[in-house]
Structures are given as structure tokens and as C-alpha cells.
Amino acid sequence: MNCLKIAELKPNASNVEVIGKISEKKEVREVTTRSGKRLLVAEAVLSDDSGSILISLWGDDAKNINDGDTVKVTNGYVGEFKGKPQLSAGKYGKIEVIS
């Protein structure tokens, strides 16, 4: 699968692969899911030379990924939050720090 540029990401796209740099990571907070499970989440901005998108970092990713990290998102999902596209690894994807 080819890596996409952030500018090519569209809401409801699934199985996306993208590489970008993390910036503007917000504070990690705990949320309770509908099923009652407690999870850590943090929002950040993921950027490449084509643009930027909000990204949700869940669980260990919320703790371990920091501003300035270059990450690769594999099998990601583009949802919409407050009318703006937002990238997430979702249940089946992963985010790995590559530099």
C-alpha cells in the first residue's frame, strides 16, 4: 500500500497509511467509553509537506508519542469531529514512531 499525503485524506477513508510529524500535542486525559472501559487519549496535529490533520492518540500512544516525533500510521481511519477530518489508528491500525 502506498503512503498518502495528508492533503489526500478524506472523511470516512479507511485503511490509510500516512507519515507525518507530530506537533501541538494536547494534554493526555482519561475518558470512559460507552462500555465503561477507561482509556487514555490525547489529540495532536500530524503534518507533512502537503498539510495537517488532527490525530487521536489512544492508550500507550497517548503516553509515548510526543511533539517532534515522526510517525507512520498504518491501517488508519479518517473520521470527522466537529466538522473537521480527524485521523485515528482505530481498533485495527497502529502508529509507530519512526524518528
> How much is the pLDDT for 33?
86
Fold category of 6-97 in CATH = OB fold (Dihydrolipoamide Acetyltransferase, E2P) (2.40.50)
Cα R_g (the chain), whole angstroms? 13
* Cβ pair 40, 59 in contact under 8 A: yes
Confidence (pLDDT) at 49 = 97
Domain boundaries, the chain: 6-97
**Cα first-last separation, the chain:** 21
pLDDT along the chain (99 residues), means of 10: 90 95 97 93 97 96 97 96 90 93
Q: What is the pLDDT of residue 1?
A: 59
Whole-model pTM over 0.85: yes
Residue 64 to residue 68: CA distance in whole angstroms: 12
